């Protein structure tokens, strides 16, 4: 009797599986949607004065870095989250407006309170735009970097760091508003990475190119990056956010 019952149940499950594949997707079942599958972390520098912050959402990722111990990075990311840019304009021209809004927010806070005067922050912001064809919009200010790692191609930076250290004109949120904005097409499996300057100094560009290459999952890649951070013990905060563009 038990054998008969089990046989009937297995038959029912087989029919359900076939109908599920061939028929209409049942209401209430999860539906695949394009998104950024991301992980991130900040390796705390030996100075022990927090400077970095980051935020990860389904279609928006941002990272910021300020001076040691001041709240400028948190203010910059707070302005990003409050603006909800991924639900408003996501065209390339809009990215300039969002960077300007963040700059204005940090600048206003700096001028309003003498205790927080001189607040400046970097900003790296990416938004997944799905309206036409899948693409990534980005805005960059300061000495961090955004990398694109297309499948079967070597990783390459989308942005150019600008800082006092390299002799270029400083570009920082709250100090000088002149963001670098752009767009890059995405295919399933492409990877995007945001790093703050602490990570760049700790690992160097050649090594980051090797670490960010496709293969391991974002989580495994981040673990590998942090293992190498532990070996060099960076003085400044080093933030790394790794995201894969997925459609399943």
Domains of the chain (ranges, CATH numbers): 36-246 (3.60.40.10)
pLDDT at 55 over 60: yes
Report the C-alpha gap between 62 and 95 in whole angstroms.
12
> What three-state secondary structure class fits 240?
strand
pLDDT at 115: 66
> What three-state secondary structure class fits 72?
helix
Length of the chain measured in residues: 248
Q: DSSP characters for 147-206? A: EEE-TTS--EESS----TTTTSPP--BTT----EEEEEE--TT-EEEEE-HHHHHHH-HH
Stretch 12-23: mean pLDDT, rounded? 33
pLDDT at 76 over 50: yes
For residue 105, report the phi and psi dihedrals to the nearest 5 degrees: -65, -45
Structural contact between residues 106 and 80, judged by C-beta atoms closer than 8 angstroms:
no
Stretch 150-175: mean pLDDT, rounded? 72
Q: DSSP characters for 72-115? A: HHHHHHHHHHHH-GGGS--SHHHHHHHHHHHHHHHHHHHHH-GG
pLDDT at 177: 66
**What band does 9 get if pLDDT is binned at 50, 70 and 90?**
very low
> What three-state secondary structure class fits 24?
coil
Overall pTM surpassing 0.85 (yes/no): no
Dihedral, 239, 240, 246, 248 alpha carbons, nearest 10: -70
pLDDT at 171: 63
Between the alpha carbon of residue 55 and those of residues 67, 106, 213, the distances in Å are: 18, 17, 23
Which is nearest to 83 in space by CA: 94, 92, 72? 94
Tell the burial category of 117 from Cβ atoms under 10 Å away from its Cβ (0-12, 13-18, 19+).
exposed
pLDDT at 63 over 50: yes
pLDDT at 92 over 70: yes
Of 1-15, 35-49, 213-227, where does mean pLDDT reach its minimum?
A: 1-15
The pair of three-digit structure tokens given for residue 174, joined into one six-digit string: 């709250």
Structural contact between residues 138 and 184, judged by C-beta atoms closer than 8 angstroms:
yes
pLDDT at 4: 39
Average pLDDT, the chain: 80
pLDDT at 201 over 80: yes
Structural contact between residues 145 and 200, judged by C-beta atoms closer than 8 angstroms:
yes
The percentage of residues in the chain with a pLDDT greater than 70, rounded to a whole number, is 78
């Amino acid at each position: 009797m038990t054998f008969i019952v089990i046989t009937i149940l297995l038959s029912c499950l087989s029919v359900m599986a076939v109908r599920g594949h061939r028929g209409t997707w049942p209401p209430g079942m999860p539906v695949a949607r394009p998104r950024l599958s991301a992980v991130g972390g900040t390796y705390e520098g030996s100075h022990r004065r927090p400077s970095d912050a980051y935020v990860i959402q389904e279609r928006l990722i941002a990272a910021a870095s300020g001076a040691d111990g001041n709240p400028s990075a948190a203010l910059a990311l707070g302005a990003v989250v409050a603006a909800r840019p991924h639900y408003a304009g996501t065209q390339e021209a809009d990215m300039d407006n969002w960077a300007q809004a963040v700059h204005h927010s940090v600048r206003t806070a700096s001028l309003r309170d003498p205790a927080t005067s001189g607040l400046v922050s970097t900003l790296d912001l990416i938004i997944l735009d799905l309206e036409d064809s899948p693409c990534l919009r980005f805005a960059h200010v300061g000495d961090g970097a955004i990398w694109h790692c297309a499948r079967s191609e070597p990783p390459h930076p989308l942005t150019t760091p600008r800082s006092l250290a390299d002799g270029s004109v400083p570009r920082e949120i709250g100090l000088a508003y002149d963001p670098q904005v752009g767009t890059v097409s995405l295919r399933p499996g492409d990877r995007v990475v945001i790093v703050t300057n602490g990570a760049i100094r700790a690992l160097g560009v050649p090594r980051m190119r090797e670490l960010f290459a496709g293969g391991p999952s974002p989580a495994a890649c981040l673990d590998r990056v942090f293992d190498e951070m532990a070996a060099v013990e960076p003085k400044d905060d080093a933030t790394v956010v790794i995201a894969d563009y997925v459609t399943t």
